[in-house]
A and B are shown apart, each in its own frame.
Chain A
Amino acid sequence: MDVLLSLYGGILIALEPINLGLAIVGVIVGLFVGAMPGLGSVNGVAILLPFTFIIQSFTGGATSPMIFLASIYYGAMYGGAISSITLGIPGASTAVATTFDGRPMALAGKAHVALVAAAIASFIGGTFSNVMFTAFAPALASVALSFGDPEVFALMLLAFATFVGLGGDDIPKTIFSICVGLVLATVGFDIISGEPRLIFFDITGFSHGIRFLVLAIGVYGIGEMLWTINTSRYGTTMTKVDVSFASIFEAIKEFRFAWRGTMIGSAMGFFVGILPAAGATPGSLMSYGVAKLTSKDPDKFGKGEINGIAAPEAANNSASTGAMLPMMTLGIPGSPTTAVLLAGMVIWGLQPGPLLFTNQPDFVWPLIGSFYIANVIAVLVNLAFIPVFLWMLRMPFTILSPMIFILSLVGTYAAYLDMFDVSLMVIVGFAAFFLRILDYPVAPAVLAIVLGPIAEPKLRQSLLFSDGDFSIFFTRPIAGPITVVALILIFLPLLKFIKDKLKKPA
């Protein structure tokens, strides 16, 4: 009951005109920043951080600036889906899984359905995790603490397992794609040994590693675009979409088919999101994998299945609230964005940590209240702007395609402020184009470059603990069951294959 009273008080403060106004502005800013390829919530939050000190000097206290930044964070999470669906380029790593089905839907002239599904799923995911956050924050913090290295590695293994079926039918090419992603993820400095690895030709640009968006924008922005131009022979590939409000209303009705994905995404996103090492990207990828794995019709995924949009979108919003939990209760950021938020809280004079809820209730509750409010604002603003984003799709293809190329290059630069990354991205794009023609699946490589940098250090840290003994992944109470489930999922297709062979007389 205390919790409900505190929440009620918090929501009242969040609804004060200044805070409400900041939340609306923040959501709109976040939406547009998130929709820009290359820019995600982290850019929006980092860039507007200094601005919050001006807000603070007006309002005093940390509540209003934090509400502003949290609204940007929320808005950007919604916005990420927009470029994934309309342009086919993931705006940020969290929205990669949204391209898998969002893009095919847009090409089939159902972009409005996809955008609406993404918005509503995001809203449900966000609300779900807000409720979980409100009710169980302190208890969940201890769950997050009990996740050591072997547990996180087991979880990454599970994430891979859910994606075994993601590749194409060509098994060696799928394996190749996964391995390429994992190898490229090791470029740069190895944190365990402090040694440089795979610094090709001693170019310093490789010392920060091959960044995620270099691969993702290269593959989806350049590679896919060249492939589309090549296969479509200059003809318009996109069916024109209907941007009337009636069609949006129709799209809202179609959401009834997306409940299963939304539920999976909300739950998985939250629990993966609260684990400090994981965050929203693995959360959304795993939700997509699970939604596909448990679907009655898994073949529809990747071809424009509405649940394939709902699951990752519900998950990335759910995870973004989830990631606030270790940030606020443990002072440990689960993602780059929460790292910047944490920096902000520290600068405003707060001490995130186990005592934040007891010592600073007048900060915590209005903030939680603002999550609820920002979420409602975000879904309304997003739905209102959908016609604007759809309008982009009505541009002639010979205008849209150079725009996508330009945004790919500018976006990569904006993300990392390094021309080396831009050049590398273009090279990756050409490579992806050639491999695409030869049926090499590219999604596994993109997945691998997200999970690889988490999985490898966790594997090695775990083995340092156990003196090199692999049994550590099976004997620990949380890691054990996860590892077993992951291994079963990985080897299930193999077992099935053998069984089929045995049944069939030679």
Chain B
Amino acid sequence: MTFTKRAFIGLAGAAAMTGLMVTPAAAFEPTKPIDFIIMAGKGGGADKMARLMQAIVEKEDLSSRPLVPTNKSGGSGAEALIAAKGAADPDHTIMVTLNSFFTTPLRQPGLEIDNMAFAPVGRMAEDTFLLWVHKDSGITTFEGFLETAKADGNAWVMGGTGKNSEDNIITDFLNGNYGLDMKYIPYKGGGAVAKQVAGKQLNSSVNNPSEALGFYESGDMVPLVAFTDERLPMFPDVPTLKEKGGDFSYFMQRAVVGAPGMSDEALAYYTDLFTKVYNSADWQEYKTKKSLMGDFMSGQELKDYWEVQIARHDDILRASGAIK
């Protein structure tokens, strides 16, 4: 085992250097295994990312106690939020979140979740969304998509991952602003949606690049438009919706938060830990390969970002009638 550790010294050293610049080594050290709650089921995008973070921590020996991942996918993340809120030991409870971190408390006020009570450990990335169709549809441009989808009306089927999920919000936007009447059918997970498009069961989908990449490389699926502010480096020929005149972009936050009630020392420790993870070669490579955007963000900056996101999702959900 000593040999492996030595093999990592170069990498870990580099990571530690960058880590040091953010926070000096904190007084807090975990004394027991850290409960690492994942706000989604096994095998989804959030789960893959959480397991990669855990693997990096393990591989580079960043933490003196292991991260123990627990999937809590129930009720669009409600289960995870409640578990984190009621954590017996908030200093040893952290959680990987996605946008249901904002939407679920908005939709279910009965849960009494206050986003701002969670400790802002770090935002690891923002995932992006693109509009995909099958190559056999013959559609190559966003305009072509609008034309065909409009002509097909209710017979044009868009797949997604459930009511009020990220792709549903985008679908509603397209239906509302371009005079479309696409039918929306929910599936369990973005991977399943991509497969349905590749198998020509669905007409189109709104998928993360990581979910559709395999079918993109084989040429089965074609991206038409990106819901980002700038073109994605991986898809330089795919225009953004903004270029096409739509004032809309949408991202998925991939952030780590601490349970409400976490001490400042513990927060500093975890921020330091995830800064190291973020700066590791593996994480950076993954970010590039899966076309993730967004820089590391923590503390007050992350809390401000949450404020903006909550206000935005409140508007979106009100507009779609999901909340009143």
Direct contact of A and B (CB under 8 A): yes
- Give the interface of A toward B (CB within 8 A): 42, 46, 49-51, 53-54, 57-58, 145-149, 188-189, 191-196, 204, 207-209, 276-277, 326, 330-333, 336, 339-340, 342-343, 346-347, 349, 351-356, 417, 457, 461, 464-465, 467
Contact of B74 among A148, A189, A354, A465 (CB under 8 A): A189
Contact of B75 among A42, A188, A333, A465 (CB under 8 A): A188
**B169 near A: Cβ within 8 Å?**
no
Contact B188 A189 (CB under 8 A): no
Task: State which residues 245-298 of B face A: CB under 8 Å.
Answer: 282, 285-286, 289
The closest CB in chain A to the CB of B191 belongs to A332
**B173 near A: Cβ within 8 Å?**
no
How far is A148 from B54 in the complex, measured between Cα atoms in Å? Answer: 35
The A-B contact count (CB < 8 A) is 143
Contact B188 A204 (CB under 8 A): no
Contact of B285 among A326, A332, A340, A349 (CB under 8 A): A349
Task: State which residues 189-233 of B face A: CB under 8 Å.
Answer: 191-192, 194-196, 198-199, 201, 210, 213-215, 217-218, 220
- Nearest Cβ on chain A to B95's Cβ, whole angstroms: 14
How far is A271 from B46 in the complex, measured between Cα atoms in Å? Answer: 30
- Nearest Cβ on chain A to B86's Cβ, whole angstroms: 9
Contact B192 A50 (CB under 8 A): no
- Give the interface of B toward A (CB within 8 A): 4, 7-8, 42-44, 47-48, 51-52, 54-55, 58-59, 69-70, 72-76, 78-79, 82, 154, 157, 161-164, 183, 185-188, 191-192, 194-196, 198-199, 201, 210, 213-215, 217-218, 220, 282, 285-286, 289
How far is A356 from B73 in the complex, measured between Cα atoms in Å? Answer: 30
Contact of A149 among B7, B76, B201 (CB under 8 A): B201
Contact of B79 among A58, A204, A465 (CB under 8 A): A204
The closest CB in chain B to the CB of A146 belongs to B199
- Nearest Cβ on chain B to A364's Cβ, whole angstroms: 14
Contact B42 A336 (CB under 8 A): yes
How far is A464 from B187 in the complex, measured between Cα atoms in Å? Answer: 12
* Interface pairs (10), CB distance under 8 Å: A189-B75, A204-B82, A208-B72, A330-B198, A331-B191, A336-B43, A340-B43, A351-B214, A353-B214, A457-B187
Contact A53 B58 (CB under 8 A): yes
List A contacts of B164 (CB < 8 A): 194
List B contacts of A340 (CB < 8 A): 42-43, 51
Contact B201 A53 (CB under 8 A): no
Contact of B217 among A42, A53, A330, A351 (CB under 8 A): A351
Contact B76 A194 (CB under 8 A): yes
Among A146, A332, A457, max chain B CB count under 10 A is at: A332
List A contacts of B58 (CB < 8 A): 50-51, 53-54
Contact B43 A333 (CB under 8 A): yes
Closest 5 CB pairs of A and B: A353-B214, A339-B43, A194-B163, A208-B74, A354-B218
How far is A189 from B58 in the complex, measured between Cα atoms in Å? Answer: 34
Contact B54 A196 (CB under 8 A): no
Contact of B195 among A57, A145, A417 (CB under 8 A): A145
Contact B201 A276 (CB under 8 A): no
Contact A347 B75 (CB under 8 A): no
Contact B76 A347 (CB under 8 A): no
Extra A-B contacts (14), CB below 8 Å, given A277-B192, A347-B51 = A53-B55, A145-B199, A191-B162, A193-B163, A194-B162, A208-B72, A208-B74, A331-B191, A332-B194, A336-B43, A343-B47, A347-B48, A349-B285, A354-B217
The closest CB in chain B to the CB of A352 belongs to B214
Contact A331 B214 (CB under 8 A): yes
List B contacts of A193 (CB < 8 A): 163
List A contacts of B195 (CB < 8 A): 145, 276, 326, 330-332
How far is A332 from B198 in the complex, measured between Cα atoms in Å? Answer: 11
- Nearest Cβ on chain A to B79's Cβ, whole angstroms: 5
- Nearest Cβ on chain B to A57's Cβ, whole angstroms: 6
